[in-house]
Structure 1
Amino acid sequence: MKQTYPLTRDLVLIGGGHSHALMLRQWGMQPLPGVRLTVIDPAPTAAYSGMLPGYVAGHYGRDDLDIDLVKLARFAGARLVMGAVDGIDLAARRISVPGRPSIAYDVAAIDIGITSSMPALPGFAEHGVPAKPLTPFARKWAAFLEADGPAQVVVIGGGVAGAELAMAMAHALAQSTREAEVRLIDRSRALKEATPSGRRKVLAAMRDLGVEVIEEAQVERVEADHVALSDGRTLPSRFTVGAAGAQPHDWLAKTGLDLHDGFITVGETLQSSDPSVFATGDCAHLSHDPRPKAGVYAVRQAPVLHDNLVATLSGGTMQSYWPQKDYLKLISLGGKRALAEKWGRAFSGPLLWRWKDHIDLAFMTKFKELPKMEAVSVPRTAADGLAEILGAKPMCGGCGAKVGRGALRGALAALPKSDRADVEAVPGDDAAMLRVGGQRQVISTDHLRAFTDDPVVMTRIAAIHALGDVWAMGATPQAATATVILPRMSADLQERSLAEIMAAAAEVMSDAGAAIVGGHSSMSDEMTIGFTVTGLCDADPITIAGAKEGDVLILTKPIGSGVIMAAEMAGEARGDIVAEAFASMVQPQGAASRILANAHAMTDVTGFGLAGHVAGICEASGLSAAVDIAAVPLMEGALELSEAGIGSTLLPDNKAGAGVVIGAIGPRGDLMFDPQTAGGLLACVPQTEAAAILTALQEAGYPAARIGQMVAGVGVRFR
């Protein structure tokens, strides 16, 4: 059994650059016991710059370009925070991320690359596309490539990066039927950093591709359909790219760290002027041996960074990083040709592109082929049934870790009936109703085993999930108590974790109109977060027993979170799919509940899956449901994962406990039983009001859908 140790120190990596990506991989293979590792990046993926020209030219697919930070963080045992850092308080050792509580650190490292000064050019922010960050650039290029009309492109910046992009775009557009014009502009001399031989070869390659190079030209402004030069010329452009003016991120100037031209000054140990803060890659300036900005240095810095972070956190000996004096420069020439430069000499040809392709793919393979999670082994001698219970994969989190519907119903059925006149409960409903001094109050409780190590995201999901029971009964949230179980950690880390959790909980509850009035905390082997919530009913509560024949079934959110979270735990789900699932789960349902105030019956779709919750309404209302399985909205990627044979550990129990369900077969059918966490509201509304309600939900921002109708009969029929 894998040994887990109490956590005593916080190591935070700011940015998902090449150094940090390699460091995370190394950490996953050899972590430092007692350290809680966090990585902060605005996106779930980080694009690899070396393959961007190949992607633009059409030689690689979009997925080939991305380092999946969600998978990498899972492998490294790190919590991934998806947000953009905008400051560091060195004295308090806290990192500011807008939209969430600050993140404390004992040791931090920064690898955020560079940004572009192009938005300062008049009109560029509105009409231009900076080459960095790479992820949004790649997305906008893909959209432009699929558009119609003249393909007029202007690349501002005649360095190697701009030339590579111009050639790649020209090559890609030559494969289409669109009329294409590609121009490269530089305010001085293009490719001045290249060797004379290399410059001649690249200029020749651009001429062969039809790229017009315009030198000694100053851009005055960028418009939607052209670029205006200071000499009065205008260049038609439908896609204007900024590949010049690289600069450090603005927030670094406010940190108090020593900077060189805005870049973080580091010494041979990669430490900044604050010994607890390290920096690598393009955002760092090597004071002991200055070098130009190039990804090769970030890659070579990674093992030194890893060793020095470990040494700082454990009292070890630091290593020194000394960059190589020169390095092999491989420049893409649009098609499957490349140019190589080193020691003042340049060569080009198809063989060099194959060499570059091999180097780039080998680098990306480090992140694409991470070791799989090992299944829990069963001792040779063990009790009967142990192997079946353990299964071949780890237990899911969220609602995927709940007790099956059959076991829960059996246990609840044995409870004695309450004879209290002030307590009402509908069997199988979301919450109980209390009568207090003439006021009707609903009460419910729920808690979740964490499926993400980010305590803020997990808290928001758990809070929305618990409030779902109140919203499903048409009540207004009133109060909440929190139950928090933390992994074993030091007192300092306990305080940090609880501060993040309670701040996030207070935000969600306050937005819903409820107050947090207390709670309970303890420690165990893993994080669990839950809430007991109350709500007030101004009208009769909406139960699962009021559906009428002919009612239309409306679902406010897509399903699929169970299979996506199961895949994420196994390292099988793409990071962007996981991020979209989180975004769906944290969407509150208060506005939806108000729009559905006239529903005859309502529930929130959670652990029993859509089929189980529809069956609950049918059973309580004495009706059947006809559900159009193709109309049920699915989260992106859920069907593909189900088709791959992935499913939540609760899936078999949900199938067994749903009662009479007909027609839910195959991978899409499995998703009808998929346990949802913080799922949508499932409502039975009058047929005459269904269209207006659906429109109102969609205008309020819910991806709601009409999925079926209540009919006479028994059970649930998918068609």
Structure 2
Amino acid sequence: MAVVGKHLVLVGGGHAHIQVLRRLAMRPEAKLRVTVVLDRPEAVYSGMVPGFVAGDYSREELAIDVVPLARRAGAAVVLAPALRIDAKEKSIALRERPALRYDLASLDVGSTVRGRSLPGVAEHALCTRPIVSFVDELDRRMAELGKTPRIVVVGGGAAGVELCFTLESRLRSLGIQPQLQLLTGDKRCLASYDEDVRSRIEELADRRGIALGTEELVVRVEADAVITESNRFPADLCVWASGAAPISLIEESALPKDEAGFVRIASTLQVVDHPDLFAVGDCAQLDDAPWVPKAGVYAVRQGPFLSDNLRAAARGRRLRSYRPQRDFLSLINLGNRRALAAKWGRVSVGRSAWFLKDRIDRRFVRRFSLLDGLGAPTGALPSPEEMGMEEMECGGCAAKLGGDALARALTRLPEAPPDPSVVKSLGDDAAWVTSDKGETTLHTVDAFRAFGDDPWLVGRVAAVNSISDIYACGGRPRHALAWVQLPEREGPAAEELLLQTLSGVRAALDAEQVSLVGGHTTHGDELVVGLSVAGDLAGLAPLAKSGARPGDALILTKALGTGVLLAADMKGLARGVWYREVVASMLRSNAGAARIARRFEATACTDVSGFGLAVHLSEMLEAGEVGAVLDLAAFPLLDGARELLETGIRSTFHPQNELRGASLAGRKDADHPILYDPQTSGGLLFAVPAERAADCVAALRAEGDCAANRVGTIRGGSPGGARYDLSSS
């Protein structure tokens, strides 16, 4: 994670930003470090939403997965909502983590709906923005409708009109007879369109039984009605499509804004008075073209200009001016695979217009969709190998010395001098030491190289992973020392990198009431984070790796697969939703699982980390002189892990784990690679009395370890035989 050149932060995954990322993937910009800030990993292409409403497209067909696109562009990904932009300090405030500083930044964050603060709108109406929320909620709301529902669409622009027609066609295709009512405060629908378009829409609406209510200003929404200044319209469903309004990020930022609250930008797409900050799409308004409506077509056309101007700004060169077109091809989806097309005063309606729109929309989405729904490459970009992306060694707990080499080195050390205070040292998850007063303390140390380009996330996961060893021994972590290797020696870049890393460390430790009492920094080629953690047993007996008894049930608290998912993510081969899940898993503390293990009388315990489940399990079985029968079908896997392993993707540490696992277990299971996948901040693996296993799993899931499951049974040992057997119940 060497910090070089200027730092460009792209906030949002809108239509313009995905073009910037694709161009960076095809032609990287030297000495430009890019970070993408997203509140969710996928963006929805707005042009296809009416088709989704009509039933022409699935949810997956609308989505553009920004995370793999960002990875192929060499960009870091931060999955956190942006809260505020400080253009003077050149920083971006994020939720529950420190602000990001930038040299250049761009906003492509869309908009929300106007009038959301009116009484009852947020509680009862289905708002069309944010678009992702609308898409995710629509099917559920439609499923609640009866056979003759009354539907009111508020908003007389293109979005409201399209929704009326597409809802009508979708519901009738399902055997439902809706009563559609559109409401607008304007004198006519589509006020900004030509007379020929308005007249044709009014004619088509009349044929389809869609009532157009004009000069109806809505004042509130109730559970069963929409109330205007002069009328009450009964409604089983109210869809709110009243036009665009700034989102809270824009409202909370002290930036130049127009009367409607949108960010003012120059023709170069730079924010007025802030040349290092750009804004595009619905969140911005051109000073010299205030007539430009909030429509996706303009964000799409701004993309190439934004890409060129960000490069020019990074190089200190002259920027291009964007001049929006006044007349463009307008395509309005009418449902039933028909559309209205209008340009240069000509209007046509029919299936040809729909197929034209379908072809344009699908082609746009296809250019940016690098993976299909199963995670397979689509060919939208050349493969990582074809693009010259070097094979990189994995980070996290997958970056350590192989188990065999480690074991051989330790056995060659001379025997340590006797020390009565040391109860256990090598071989368990943490060392146990007693004081002169007989109090037992636990000590462990762990470190790994960065598994990604987000230092806050790396620091936080490193801390969660380090204190897990104390929890695996049944202890309570109390104090920690941090060691951070930085690729920068001095200056603002080094300061910012250290701040982000230690903020992540503190975020994990503070939540567990573990005090960070000191540390050390050093300089090296890349970011490495380590912690030494001390804890106590709070007067309780420790949990050891040994102690499992034949008949005990084996419980695993977290899903497996972090190794292969992180390896795939480095190459842009992991879907964004998979990445989000693996991050959530790594950030989840084992504190609750450890408490439950003790409550259900665990007889042996360890945590599953970089050596993989087969090695950690074999160490537990060897320590207790027992064996096990594993139920492969019961193993919880992170989404995407199975698919990626089946394609042959492996963590760079996987082969070492396979060799070590085969050596310890007395068997090799190459057909079951998940056994050797190195886990970063993995879960606990413990044994409990069989009669308590079901209640234990239920308690773990109730605590939040939703993937927890019984994965096997302890059996008697087989001297000279395999440590464990496999079954698939």
With 40-49 and 303-312 compared, the bigger mean Cα shift is at 303-312
Aligned counterpart for 2:610 among listed residues 607, 610, 632? 607
Aligned to 1:509: 509
The 3-state SS of whatever aligns with 2:82 is: coil
For residues 560 and 144 of structure 2, the distance between their equivalents in structure 1, rounded to whole angstroms, comes to 32
- 1:43: Cα distance to partner? 0.8
Q: Does the 8 A contact of 1:38 with 1:81 survive in 2?
A: yes
- 1:214: Cα distance to partner? 3.6
For residues 81 and 138 of structure 1, the distance between their equivalents in structure 2, rounded to whole angstroms, comes to 23
Q: Which amino acid aligns with 1:236?
A: A
- 1:232: Cα distance to partner? 5.2
Evaluate the alpha carbon distance shift between residue 211 and residue 526 of structure 1 in structure 2; reply closer, same or farther with a 3 A threshold: farther
Aligned counterpart for 1:110 among listed residues 107, 111, 114? 107
Pair 1:279 & 2:274 matched: no
Evaluate the alpha carbon distance shift between residue 664 and residue 6 of structure 1 in structure 2; reply closer, same or farther with a 3 A threshold: closer
For residues 408 and 172 of structure 1, the distance between their equivalents in structure 2, rounded to whole angstroms, comes to 63
The 3-state SS of whatever aligns with 2:447 is: strand
Q: Does the 8 A contact of 1:253 with 1:259 survive in 2?
A: no
Evaluate the alpha carbon distance shift between residue 393 and residue 499 of structure 1 in structure 2; reply closer, same or farther with a 3 A threshold: closer
Q: Which amino acid aligns with 2:665?
A: V
Q: Does the 8 A contact of 1:129 with 1:137 survive in 2?
A: yes
Evaluate the alpha carbon distance shift between residue 487 and residue 133 of structure 1 in structure 2; reply closer, same or farther with a 3 A threshold: farther
Q: Does the 8 A contact of 2:6 with 2:31 survive in 1?
A: yes
With 346-355 and 258-267 compared, the bigger mean Cα shift is at 346-355
Between the two proteins, the alignment pairs up a number of residues equal to: 700
For residues 296 and 663 of structure 1, the distance between their equivalents in structure 2, rounded to whole angstroms, comes to 56
For residues 153 and 429 of structure 2, the distance between their equivalents in structure 1, rounded to whole angstroms, comes to 58
Pair 1:660 & 2:657 matched: no
- 1:71: Cα distance to partner? 0.8
CA deviations 1:279-327 (Å, max 9, x no partner) are: 1111111112222222222222222222322333332222222222321
For residues 145 and 571 of structure 1, the distance between their equivalents in structure 2, rounded to whole angstroms, comes to 36
Pair 1:51 & 2:48 matched: yes
Aligned to 2:726: 718
Aligned counterpart for 1:18 among listed residues 3, 15, 28? 15
Q: Does the 8 A contact of 1:154 with 1:240 survive in 2?
A: yes
The 3-state SS of whatever aligns with 2:468 is: helix
Q: Does the 8 A contact of 1:376 with 1:393 survive in 2?
A: no
Aligned counterpart for 1:641 among listed residues 628, 641, 644? 644
Pair 1:68 & 2:65 matched: yes
For residues 533 and 242 of structure 2, the distance between their equivalents in structure 1, rounded to whole angstroms, comes to 54
Mind listing any 5+ residue stretches in structure 2 that lack a counterpart?
A: 370-379
Aligned to 1:132: 129
- 1:182: Cα distance to partner? 4.1
CA deviations 1:19-54 (Å, max 9, x no partner) are: 111112222333332222112121111111111112
For residues 82 and 11 of structure 1, the distance between their equivalents in structure 2, rounded to whole angstroms, comes to 16
For residues 167 and 592 of structure 2, the distance between their equivalents in structure 1, rounded to whole angstroms, comes to 46
CA deviations 1:179-211 (Å, max 9, x no partner) are: 545443323332223322223333444455554
For residues 146 and 711 of structure 1, the distance between their equivalents in structure 2, rounded to whole angstroms, comes to 50
CA deviations 1:69-118 (Å, max 9, x no partner) are: 21121112111111222212233222111210111112222121111234
Evaluate the alpha carbon distance shift between residue 547 and residue 177 of structure 1 in structure 2; reply closer, same or farther with a 3 A threshold: farther
With 284-293 and 408-417 compared, the bigger mean Cα shift is at 408-417
Pair 1:617 & 2:620 matched: yes
For residues 654 and 526 of structure 2, the distance between their equivalents in structure 1, rounded to whole angstroms, comes to 22
For residues 651 and 209 of structure 2, the distance between their equivalents in structure 1, rounded to whole angstroms, comes to 54
Aligned to 2:377: none
Q: Does the 8 A contact of 1:170 with 1:210 survive in 2?
A: no
CA deviations 1:197-229 (Å, max 9, x no partner) are: 223333444455554444443444334455455
- 1:477: Cα distance to partner? 0.7
With 583-592 and 427-436 compared, the bigger mean Cα shift is at 427-436
- 1:178: Cα distance to partner? 5.0
Aligned counterpart for 1:168 among listed residues 166, 169, 193? 166
Aligned to 2:28: 31
> Scaled by the length of structure 1, what TM-score is found?
0.91
For residues 561 and 166 of structure 1, the distance between their equivalents in structure 2, rounded to whole angstroms, comes to 45
For residues 175 and 558 of structure 2, the distance between their equivalents in structure 1, rounded to whole angstroms, comes to 40
Evaluate the alpha carbon distance shift between residue 205 and residue 522 of structure 1 in structure 2; reply closer, same or farther with a 3 A threshold: farther
With 178-187 and 428-437 compared, the bigger mean Cα shift is at 178-187
Q: Which amino acid aligns with 1:464?
A: V
- 1:602: Cα distance to partner? 0.8
Pair 1:158 & 2:163 matched: no
Q: Which amino acid aligns with 2:216?
A: A
> Scaled by the length of structure 2, what TM-score is found?
0.90
Aligned counterpart for 2:710 among listed residues 706, 709, 712? 706
Residue correspondence of structure 1 range 403-482 to structure 2 within 5 A: 403-418=401-416, 419-425=418-424, 428-437=427-436, 438-482=438-482
Evaluate the alpha carbon distance shift between residue 326 and residue 148 of structure 1 in structure 2; reply closer, same or farther with a 3 A threshold: closer
Q: Does the 8 A contact of 2:83 with 2:252 survive in 1?
A: no
The 3-state SS of whatever aligns with 1:241 is: strand
Aligned to 2:372: none
With 243-252 and 92-101 compared, the bigger mean Cα shift is at 243-252
The 3-state SS of whatever aligns with 1:596 is: helix
CA RMSD, Structure 1 to Structure 2 (Å): 2.6
The 3-state SS of whatever aligns with 2:479 is: strand
Q: Does the 8 A contact of 1:372 with 1:571 survive in 2?
A: no
The 3-state SS of whatever aligns with 1:163 is: helix
Evaluate the alpha carbon distance shift between residue 197 and residue 509 of structure 1 in structure 2; reply closer, same or farther with a 3 A threshold: same
Q: Does the 8 A contact of 1:198 with 1:347 survive in 2?
A: no
Pair 1:671 & 2:679 matched: no
Pair 1:84 & 2:81 matched: yes
The 3-state SS of whatever aligns with 2:263 is: strand
Evaluate the alpha carbon distance shift between residue 596 and residue 167 of structure 1 in structure 2; reply closer, same or farther with a 3 A threshold: same
For residues 524 and 30 of structure 1, the distance between their equivalents in structure 2, rounded to whole angstroms, comes to 29
Evaluate the alpha carbon distance shift between residue 101 and residue 612 of structure 1 in structure 2; reply closer, same or farther with a 3 A threshold: same
Q: Which amino acid aligns with 2:501?
A: I
For residues 262 and 466 of structure 2, the distance between their equivalents in structure 1, rounded to whole angstroms, comes to 45
For residues 536 and 501 of structure 1, the distance between their equivalents in structure 2, rounded to whole angstroms, comes to 26
For residues 207 and 419 of structure 2, the distance between their equivalents in structure 1, rounded to whole angstroms, comes to 87
- 1:530: Cα distance to partner? 2.2
Q: Does the 8 A contact of 2:3 with 2:33 survive in 1?
A: no
Aligned to 1:694: 697
For residues 458 and 150 of structure 1, the distance between their equivalents in structure 2, rounded to whole angstroms, comes to 53
Q: Does the 8 A contact of 1:157 with 1:184 survive in 2?
A: yes
For residues 460 and 699 of structure 1, the distance between their equivalents in structure 2, rounded to whole angstroms, comes to 24
The 3-state SS of whatever aligns with 2:471 is: helix
Q: Does the 8 A contact of 2:2 with 2:526 survive in 1?
A: no
For residues 3 and 593 of structure 2, the distance between their equivalents in structure 1, rounded to whole angstroms, comes to 42
- 1:625: Cα distance to partner? 1.5
Q: Does the 8 A contact of 1:6 with 1:487 survive in 2?
A: yes
- 1:450: Cα distance to partner? 2.1
Q: Which amino acid aligns with 2:618?
A: A
CA deviations 1:387-407 (Å, max 9, x no partner) are: xxx9x9533222233333333
For residues 317 and 459 of structure 1, the distance between their equivalents in structure 2, rounded to whole angstroms, comes to 39
Aligned to 2:376: none
Q: Which amino acid aligns with 1:305?
A: L
For residues 166 and 674 of structure 1, the distance between their equivalents in structure 2, rounded to whole angstroms, comes to 51
Q: Does the 8 A contact of 2:11 with 2:106 survive in 1?
A: yes
Aligned to 1:193: 192
Q: Which amino acid aligns with 1:268?
A: S
The 3-state SS of whatever aligns with 1:276 is: strand
Evaluate the alpha carbon distance shift between residue 185 and residue 450 of structure 1 in structure 2; reply closer, same or farther with a 3 A threshold: same
Pair 1:94 & 2:91 matched: yes
Evaluate the alpha carbon distance shift between residue 325 and residue 375 of structure 1 in structure 2; reply closer, same or farther with a 3 A threshold: closer
CA deviations 1:2-23 (Å, max 9, x no partner) are: xx97514222122221111111
Q: Which amino acid aligns with 2:583?
A: F
The 3-state SS of whatever aligns with 2:97 is: coil
Mind listing any 5+ residue stretches in structure 1 that lack a counterpart?
A: 378-389
Aligned to 2:120: 123
Aligned to 2:586: 585
- 1:177: Cα distance to partner? 4.6
- 1:664: Cα distance to partner? 5.8
Aligned to 1:371: 382
